[in-house]
Structures are given as structure tokens and as C-alpha cells.
Amino acid sequence: MVSPGRRRVCGGLVLLSFLPLAGCGRKAPRAQAVPRDATVLALGDSLTSGVGASADTAYPAVLQRLTGWKVVNAGVPGDTSTQALARLPGLLQQHQPALVIVSIGGNDFLRRQGASTTRAQVRQICELVRASGAQVLLVAVPELSLLAAAGRLSDHALYADIADELKIPLHRKGWSAVLADARLRSDQIHANAAGYAEFAQGLVNTLRDSGFLVH
């Protein structure tokens, strides 16, 4: 026969066993669909501007053709997260985008800037976008490592951390996959036209999965 005290302990353990499930089941809020004729801002560096290919084969131009959105290419070669953050308020005011795609940080890593600084700047970019009333999609950028030098790239962990903290969608392994494939590169750190097309198609899949794109 089980004592009342033991029943209370066992009942408490059973209840506690269910509590984590509620937390594990929570996901980031699903994005609102972006209308076909809306303005979308692509914020980034040389990978966004399209170095290694022509202007009409840079990923924002390809994305515009795939979605029907007006995609503004706000990529500046050499930009760090600090510089992108400084440009952002003016871009938001000028274009008033419905969505901002944030792909920045590669130059921070190349210049050996501390990851904590990059994390803070990228997070601030995402928060500023949301404060403007626009939605944000964060794009993971590969980290520098010995494996990267051998062509085996992986996303820097700070992007997943920020996406989890802010509950925003993240496009994973886009640049890591493209820049690891010599057929899709113009040099070691830039895509070619085929690479930008590959990246844009992968981005479309994430946009659909996240709810931004419904057509």
C-alpha cells in the first residue's frame, strides 16, 4: 500500500514530467505573408551586392524575379555589422520595407572582430528592423575555421543564438553550402551567378516555410 506522502511525491513527479513539454512545444511566431508587390530590403555586404557576378544575377535580383517583390539591393562590399547598422535607419526611412533580409558579419570574421561585438551589432540590427514595423529574416554566415580553409563550411553559432533569442526566422546553411562548392564560387569568399541563383532558391524555400511567401 502506498502512503499518502509517497502518492503526493509521485503525483508531483508526474506533473513535472509534463511541464517541459509546454516549453519545448513553443515555436517562433509564424511570419505574416508579404504581399507580392511589397518592398523587401536585402541588407548585407559583397555577397548581397553580388561581387563575382553581374548586377542582374546578384541574389536580390534573382529573388525579385522569383517572388514578385521589389527587392532593394542594400549590399555594400566590405561592410561590417557596425557599418550596416549605421546605414540601416536611413534605408528603413527611405524604402519603408515590409521585410528586411539581414546577411552580415562575414567581414567582421575576416577582420577578426570579436564574436561578442558582432553578435551585439547583428542583434541590434534585427531589433531596429522590428521596431520600424518591418519583419526580419536573419541569414546565417559561415564562421572562419581550419575546416573552412579546407572548404568545409558551417554557420557561425551566433546567428542561431540571435534567432532563438528574438524568436525570428533564420535561413540556415545558405552561404555555407554555396561557398563550399567550387562550382558555385567566383573566388574563395564570393559566389558566381550560379551560386547566387542557388542561394536565392534556397532562400525562397525558407521564406515559404516561415510564412513570408505564400505564392
**Residue 46 appears among annotated catalytic residues:** yes
Compute and round to an integer the Cα radius of gyration of the chain.
21
Q: Is the dihedral of CA 17, 22, 28, 33 positive or negative?
A: positive
**Residue 155 appears among annotated catalytic residues:** no
**Residue 95 appears among annotated catalytic residues:** no
Q: Which of 46, 81, 103, 210 is catalytic?
A: 46
For residues 168 and 210, give the distance between their C-alpha atoms in angstroms, rounded to a whole number: 9
Q: Which of 54, 145, 164, 187 is catalytic?
A: 187
Q: Which of 45, 108, 155, 190 is catalytic?
A: 190
CA atoms within 13 A on the CB side of 108: 25
Tell me the catalytic residues.
Answer: 46, 187, 190
